[in-house]
Structure 1
């Protein structure tokens, strides 16, 4: 989808008059920013009071870059104390599918060794996965033990459903046999892709017969110590076709990526294929119970925290860096959440007016947490739609009772899918700058 223009999709700062925006720009600290993306983030940055875009080689205080820019420029860029950039240097330790699984497996072994099998079992939230071609023989052994099962192949570093397919026969993956079958020239060829073979969740939770997954936003502002925030808004992405295992070649049945679904012949762009996560939470509560859904969302919180802890010691921490992750979570028909993948550059392109407004809220509050204007005290448990869920340890709600504080859940301060009264919260929290009225 092409970039949404501000004139069509009104960002949340857009209710200011031109005069008000100009006064804000004069009264707030000036932040020079650079942005390498042409989507919703560009609209949000352009409308943020006091922020000015710089081009090409201009000096910047804030850079929302893509990972290609980071890879080419980070090590050659001098950054002063106040400067911020939107990725950690080796973010791929969590966001490449093979590295994510490698780090989770290592973390699970560490927990079993240090805290016992019960604690290690808390990491049982990602499907059985093998990296090919390196673990081809190990995969074949498991494949033969579970004859008839469905597996899914994914390239380790692509997105939007590209290169993904399902299979049940080994002959379908002969191109990914072990390294020994390749010549040295092939091994050194940068174009030879690694894939992961992952056990397919054959019993997904269905709504109206359709499969869906959750896109949830988690922000990390530091890895040492770990400080992580969870956003209240998110969405469920639905397939456009009723679920069935009888046809594993139909991507419209099995892949929920919007980039895939919007190419379906009967896709309706007016209806789209998303629910806001608040709508999903209400649906699940009505169909099951409040207690069941609370347990589910605590288990989802556990996924966020454990996955971040699994890479805490390998991510290169840098005070200039923050990361906005897009987590993809799948529910099975037992209401067990599964971590499918983590995205370093979650799509910021909107598929509808509602989607655009939600992404504007996420991005505006991300900038509030980054706090280039130095308005926060550092002790906040909530900023806009973000709830602080980990700050070198679990963060609890002010009203958490003794049963919560004594439980084994990792965090109790999150409100994923709950009411997001961010505008009122921001008005109460931010004190005006000298000569500046409240936002």
Structure 2
């Protein structure tokens, strides 16, 4: 299996060294996984020139429940300081609740919109619901382990499903956009000019009978490549420039510029939501993978942010 990052570093003439034993700190650049950061980072002293590819508490942005919490906090701050007419700029995530903590609030919202479609986002995977009893298991009391210690239920996200996605060829898609942050203070951001689009393998439908069909509602390749009619040679991706050409051809250059301008603004605002809580460290940078959905009014929505794209 090829490792693109490793191959690029080797092509640049960089030398691979061990991070254990006598070479534990004898390195300039460490491309680490998030588990290493959580377990080792705070136990070592880095030299001025050393760089690592994660901020200590990157999860403030990359964990779904933390992202929702931080965006909600920013919306409250903007509304308090500048008024309701300004906080809409930070409403780039569909109506969201963290379960089980906000189950009562979610229940009230659900009852105000009976029959509405919601998407559950556990730690891994997704599924759609349109009835409250479909998530009744998250209302149970905390369990106990063998030592009779309380185990709080794991936090889950439930979000209002965006049921009017922009479709191409009748199929749903999302965008993967790469964002490099080299500093949170001052905030320094680079957005790669070319990401890609991931398409579902089946024609979009919001019918109740299709709620469990991830070949319709999910766009990640891991799901789509298992579809019976998946074409391995054609795949289910477009480069971002292909999408821009399609949007320009169908809606005009100005609409295309407006859409991608809104996406860039959304990315910046999401980073502002975590700027004050992120631990700034000159040794750290982070490459994020932003997953974005476009609705049929050409409005972008942030789905999630990935720490190791």
Aligned partner of 1:14 in structure 2 is none
Question: In 2, Cα distance between the equivalents of 1:141 and 1:114?
Answer: 27
Aligned partner of 2:198 in structure 1 is 237
Matching of residues 37-436 of structure 1 within 5 Å: 39-49=3-13, 51-57=14-20, 58=23, 59-155=26-122, 158=123, 162-177=124-139, 181-183=141-143, 185=145, 188-189=150-151, 192-246=153-207, 247-346=210-309
CA offset digits 1:344-363 (Å, max 9, x no partner): 111xxxxxxxxxxxxxxxxx
Q: CA deviation at 1:48?
A: 1.3
Question: In 1, Cα distance between the equivalents of 2:220 and 2:193?
Answer: 21
Question: In 2, Cα distance between the equivalents of 1:341 and 1:188?
Answer: 30
| Structure 1: runs of 5+ lacking an equivalent | 5-38, 347-439
Instruction: Provide the secondary structure at the position in 1 that maps to 2:197.
Output: strand
Higher relative CO (CA 8 A, sep ≥ 6), structure 1 or 2? Answer: 2
Task: Flag the 1:270–1:256 CA change in 2: closer, same or farther, 3 A.
Answer: same
Q: CA deviation at 1:103?
A: 0.5
CA offset digits 1:40-90 (Å, max 9, x no partner): 1111112113x1001241221110010011111000111100000000000
TM-score normalised by structure 2 residue count: 0.94
TM-score normalised by structure 1 residue count: 0.67
CA offset digits 1:362-389 (Å, max 9, x no partner): xxxxxxxxxxxxxxxxxxxxxxxxxxxx
**Alpha carbon RMSD of aligned pairs, Å?**
1.4
Question: In 1, Cα distance between the equivalents of 2:296 and 2:104?
Answer: 31
Question: In 1, Cα distance between the equivalents of 2:223 and 2:143?
Answer: 35
4+ residue runs of structure 1 moved beyond 6 angstroms?
Answer: none
Instruction: Provide the secondary structure at the position in 2 that maps to 1:216.
Output: strand
| Structure 2: runs of 5+ lacking an equivalent | none
Q: CA deviation at 1:258?
A: 1.1
* Alignment coverage as a number of residue pairs: 301
Question: In 2, Cα distance between the equivalents of 1:81 and 1:227?
Answer: 19
CA offset digits 1:136-166 (Å, max 9, x no partner): 11111111111111100001xx3xxx33110
Q: CA deviation at 1:328?
A: 0.5
Instruction: Provide the secondary structure at the position in 1 that maps to 2:193.
Output: strand
Query: Which of the two has higher C-alpha Rg?
Result: 1
Q: CA deviation at 1:187?
A: 7.8
8 Å contact kept, 2:143–2:151: no
Q: CA deviation at 1:117?
A: 2.1
Question: In 2, Cα distance between the equivalents of 1:187 and 1:117?
Answer: 44
Question: In 1, Cα distance between the equivalents of 2:254 and 2:162?
Answer: 25
